[in-house]
Amino acid sequence: MVGYETIDFEMRGAVAWLTMNRPKAFNALDLTMAKELCDLSIRLGEDDAVRCVVLTGSGEAAFCAGGDVPGFAADVDTLPATLKEMTTYLHMAISRFAWMRAPVIAAVNGVAAGAGLSMVACTDLAIAVEGASFTSAYTKIGLTPDGSSTYFLPRIIGTRRTTELYMTNRVLNAEEALDWGLINQIVPADQLAAETEKLANKLASGPTLALGSVKKLLLMSTNDSLESQMERETRSIAAMGRTADGRNGVVAFVNKQKPDFIGE
């Protein structure tokens, strides 16, 4: 088992739990964490036993407070190179998580700022504690967004609201984030782990190939014509008809039985 310095990694059945673990730095993203997220995204994406992924933060203060700004300030002359290197690994990780067949859940245990906001936006579903907050904060320090948020946020909350977050650095509380559609659910802090585990286990027992195909269809839905997207739907649903889960699901429905999906 590979050990990680900034991320606690645990398999709970078919669910991979990734906990960003730099609580004294509010789980801020540094180069090591970006590399470790990249490594995990590749490992988990190649492991058919992984049928759901949970991403969360350690402690009660922050999910991820964004990039490690004090680290950036330590040598501003090398800042451009540092940002290029870090985003290379971060963006590879986000791409692998977005395209992997396993659903990815963000369990937001506190502040999600900068790259932390981006990591919430790129996941498939998000649950947040009542005291969570969400902000861009990039232009507050004279930088621009990274971590895929300029791709995902306009699709989730719309261009006007995304522009407002970037240009004013408005801070959303959990209720506002839910109202805007950024997250799916709010829970008390002491119920976050249990509610996330319930959702993760539900997804992990589902038709994993079909869930992964849903992710792909949604990622591609805004990039082409109606007819091209419908052709993708045709190819996808036909492909699912060849899977064990697809065939078992159809037969179980007719027989009024609960299907036993195996992820194949």
Residue whose structure tokens are 């790129």: 122
Cα dihedral across residues 31, 128, 26, 161: positive or negative: positive
CA distances 221 to 99, 119, 139, 233, Å, are 14, 21, 30, 10
Side-chain half-sphere CA neighbours of 166 within 13 A = 16
Alpha helices (runs of H) in the chain, residue ranges in sequence order: 31-45, 69-73, 79-99, 115-122, 149-157, 159-168, 174-180, 192-204, 208-220, 226-241, 244-254
The residue annotated as part of the active site, out of 30, 124, 146, 245, is 146
Task: Decide: 222 and 197 in contact? Cβ < 8 Å.
Answer: no
The residue annotated as part of the active site, out of 75, 91, 124, 260, is 91
Asked about 190 being catalytic, the answer comes back as: no
Asked about 146 being catalytic, the answer comes back as: yes
Nearest Cα residue to 29 out of 8, 10, 6, 9: 6
Residue whose structure tokens are 């396993």: 102
Give me the active site residues, please.
91, 146
